[in-house]
Chain A
Amino acid sequence: MLSRVADAIYWMGRYLERAENITRLLLVTEDFSTETQGLEESVAQTAWKDVLAILPTAQLTRPVSAFAALSQPYLTSFFLDVQNGFSVHYSLRKARENARAVREALTIEAFMSINEAFHAVEGYARKGLTDPPGLRDALGSTHKSIFSVIGAIDATFTRDEGWHFLKLGESVERIYRAALILRARLPALLASEPRTDLPLYYSQWRSLLRSLSSLENYRKAHGARLEPELVVTFLFFDAQSPRSLRAGTATIKECLERIAGGRDLTPAARLIGKLYADLCYADAKAVRRDESPAFLDGVVDALTRAHEALTAQYFVT
C-alpha cells in the first residue's frame, strides 16, 4: 500500500486510541476526585496533577469561577479545548483528518462513524459546556461513540496491510499511554502504606486499574481482593488483558510481523521483540519492589524508538 496511506492509517489508529484513553482517564479521575475531595482534598488534587504528567499539556483552561468544582478546568481543557494537543476534541479531529485524507482506503461505515463522533464533540465544544454533570454526560456519550467507531472498523475492515497498520498505531498508543499512567501513579502508590484510611488507599488502586480498563479483568483473575503485588503483576505481565504491557506488546509484535510478511527482521520488530521478551521473562518480584520506574522508562524508550524505526522504514520511502 502507499506509504502515505499507511502513515495516515497508523496515525488514525493512534489518535482514536488516544481519544479513548483520555476520555476514560477523565471519567475515572472525575469519579475519584468527586469521591475523595471532601475527605482528603490533596489526594484529589494529586490525581488531577497526575493527568498532567500523563498528557503533557502546556496550559489549562481557566476555571469558570472560584467556586467551580476541582475537576472543572481539567475536564474542559482535556475534553473540549481544541487548542490542547491532548484533548479528546483535538485527538478526534486529527483522527478524522487522517481518515479524510485516506478516505478511499477505509470502509464507508468506518469513515461515517468517525465523522459522527467528531461532529458530536465539536457540537459540545460549540455549546461551551462548563458544568461537570453536563461534561460528564457528554464524555460518557463520547466514550460510547468512540467504541462504535472501533466496532465499525472491526466489523467491516478487511484484514489486510491497512488493518495491521491501524492496529499497530492503536497498540503502540495504548501501551505507550499505559506505561505513562503507571509511571505517574505507581511510585507514590507503592510508597504509601495502608494506614488508617484503608478505603481511600484501595480506592486509589481501584482507580489505577480503571484508568487502564482493567478493574473487571483483574477481578476475573484474582477476585475483588486488591493486593498491590497482584495488581502490579497483572498490569505488567498478564498475557490476556488487552491493556497489560505484555499483552499490548504482543499485539504490536504481531502487527509488525504481519506487515513484514516473513521477510527479514526489521529494526522496529527487533526492538519490540526484545521488549516482549523482557515482559515475558522479567523477575516480577524485582519489578514490584523498587525497579518499576526504571523498567517503565525502558518500556517508554523502546516504544519511542520502535515508532521512529517503523516511520523511517514504511512511511518515508
Chain B
Amino acid sequence: MLSAVKWVPDSHGFDEAFDRTGTPRSHYRPLVTTLETFTQEDIDRRERLQRLALVDQGITFTVYGQKDGIERIFPFDFVPRILTAREWERLEAGLVQRVTALNLFIADVYQGQKCLKDGVIPPELVLSRKEYKRELLNVLPPRHVYTHVVGTDIIRNDKGDFLVLEDNCRCPSGVSYVLENRNLLNRVFPEFFGFYPVRSIKDYPQMLLETLLHAAPRGTDSPVAVVLSPGIYNSAFFEHSFLAREMGATLVEGRDLVVEDNHVFMRTTAGRQRVDVIYRRVDEDFLDPLVFRRDSLLGVPGLLNAYRQGNVAIANAPGAGVADDKSVYAFMPALIEYYLDQAPLLGQVSTYVGFRKDDFAYMREHAADLVVKTTGDSGGYNMLMGPFAARKEVDAYVAQMRKNPGNYIAQPLVELSSHPTYTGGRFEPRRIDLRPFILYGDKVRVLPGGLTRVALRAGSYVVNSSQGGGSKDTWVLAPRRSG
C-alpha cells in the first residue's frame, strides 16, 4: 500500500517493532497498518492535540538548576510500546522473584545479617554504604515489608532478552505518567485500541492504597494514610499530588505533620488528626532532622522515633535504600539464589565493583570503554559514558574515581532496544527502557504496564526525563483465550 507514513527500522540493536528484514513483528502489524491509513496532516494534527492536552492539564515535571521555564512538559510519543502476554509472563515472574529477594535481603541486613556472615556479599561493602542506616538496626517494620513500591529498570539487549539495569527501592517515580499516558493515547488515537486486548492499569491507585493500608500498624481500626511530599518545587510534585487525589488520601508536607508522644499527627483546621501510614516521597535523609540531616527543613522532628515505636508505618521503609545501591546490584543474582534457592529468572548487566581492588584496576584502565556510575546517584546524574566521552573527560572522571573507589561501579555499554518514535514527520528508531512498578502488600503484584522511557535524540542512550528523555504508553496484551 502506498502510504505517506515512513518507517525507518533500527540497524544496531533489537528493534521492538520490526525484524531484521524490516517486516513488522506480528504483534505490531495491526498498529503499523492502522498508522499507514493516516495522512501526514492527520498525524500532525493529532500530535498538536496531544501537546495541548499536556499543557492544559498541567502534566509537568520540574527541572532543577534552570532559571526559567522550570516547569516542563514530559514529552510523550504516541507510538505505543507493545509487550505480548508471553513476554510479560516472563518479566512478571522475574520481577516478583527479584523483589521478594530484595525485601528478604534488607530485612536480613537490619536483623541478623546472615548473608554477611555467610559471605554472600562482603560485610564492609554493605556496612559502608551511605544508605545503610545503623540507627535502624533491629527495628522491624510492620509486617516486615521494606519495599512497598519498587520500580525496577529493565532493558533489552541485542538478542531481545530482558535485563535488569537497576532497582529503585526508595521512592521510584513515574507511575503517574504511566496512567496519564494511557489516558492521553485513548483520547488522541482511539483507533489503536480497536485491534488489541490491552490490559487495564487504571486500578493502580487502588492497589497502592491497599498496599499502604496493609502496612498499617496493627490495632488501628480505620487507618489513615497520607502522601508525604517535599512540596511544589520538587520535580515529581505532579505525581505526588496525582496519587494523593487518585487515592483520596491527604497530601502533606513535613510542616503539616507533628509528632507528639511518639505518635504522628497532621495539623488540620479542626486540630490534630492521627496518621498511621506515610507514603513518603521524600528522600530518607530528609525525613527526620533529629536523626538524619539536621539542616533539613522538609522533615518531621521525632518521626523516626514514632516509627521505631511501631506507631506509624513508612513506605518505603527507611533504610530500604541499601538494596538499590549500585554495588549491591552486582550481588543480586547470588542473593536471589541464597534467599530463595532459585536461579534468577531475569538476567542483569555484568558489573565491575570499585570496592574490589581487581575490578577497580580494570575500571581505571578501561574507563574509556565502560559506562561508569556512582553507586548512590540516580537519574543519570554523575555518570561517565566512556565510549562517547572525550579523552579529557575520561581522565578527569578517573581522577575523581581514585578519591573514593568504593563509590563507583562500571558496566560495559549495553545496546538498548529501540522503538519507532515519531520525530520530524517520520518514524525513526529511538532507544528505550522500561520501568515496571511492583507493589508489596499481602503479596507481590506487578502493574501490567510500566513507564517506557525513550531517548528522543537520535543515537542517544540517555532516557532520563531530566536529560531530554520522553515517554510512551506501554501496553501489556491479555493472553489469548483458548477455545
Contacts and interface: CB of A to CB of B under 8 A. Distances in A.
A105 to B, nearest CB: 8
Contacts of A2: 250, 252, 256, 266-269
Interface in B240-278: 241-242, 244-245, 250-253, 255-256, 266-269, 271
B49 interface: no
Interface string A91-118: 0000001001111110010011001100
Interface stretch (B5-13, B52-60, B349-357): B52-60
B255 A4 contact: yes
Contacts of A102: 251
A119 interface: yes
Contacts of A112: 56-58
A101 B232 contact: yes
A317 B271 contact: yes
Chain A binding site: helix, strand, loop or mixed by DSSP? helix
B161 to A, nearest CB: 40
Contact of A119 (B55, B231, B242): B55
A66 interface: no
A141 interface: no
Counting chain A CB atoms within 10 Å of each CB, the highest count among B58, B232, B252, B253 belongs to: B58
A201 interface: no
Contacts of B271: 317
A3 B268 contact: yes
Interface string B229-245: 00110000010011011
Chain B binding site: helix, strand, loop or mixed by DSSP? mixed
Interface residues of B, number: 22
A6 B253 contact: no
Contacts of B241: 103-104
A287 interface: no
A137 B267 CA distance: 45
A188 interface: no
A184 interface: no
A259 interface: yes
Interface residues of A, number: 23
B269 A161 contact: yes
Contacts of B55: 115, 119
Contacts of A286: none
A1 interface: yes
A162 to B, nearest CB: 10
Contacts of B250: 1-2, 5
B269 A317 contact: yes
B27 to A, nearest CB: 33
Nearest to B248: A104
Nearest to B240: A104
A115 B245 contact: no
B56 A1 contact: no
B269 A103 contact: no
A4 B256 contact: yes
Contacts of A115: 55-58
A161 B232 CA distance: 23
Contacts of B252: 2
Contacts of A105: 245, 251
Nearest to B231: A101
Interface string B209-243: 00000000000000000000001100000100110
A126 to B, nearest CB: 12
9 contacts: A2-B268, A3-B267, A97-B232, A104-B241, A108-B57, A111-B58, A119-B56, A259-B269, A317-B271
Give the 4 A-B CB pairs with smallest separation, nearest first.
A104-B245, A104-B244, A103-B241, A104-B241
Interface of B: 55-58, 231-232, 238, 241-242, 244-245, 250-253, 255-256, 266-269, 271
Interface of A: 1-6, 97, 100-105, 108, 111-112, 115-116, 119, 161, 259, 314, 317
Given A104-B251, A105-B245, A314-B269, 17 more contacts: A1-B268, A3-B268, A4-B253, A4-B255, A4-B256, A5-B250, A97-B232, A100-B58, A101-B232, A103-B241, A104-B244, A111-B58, A115-B56, A259-B269, A317-B267, A317-B268, A317-B269
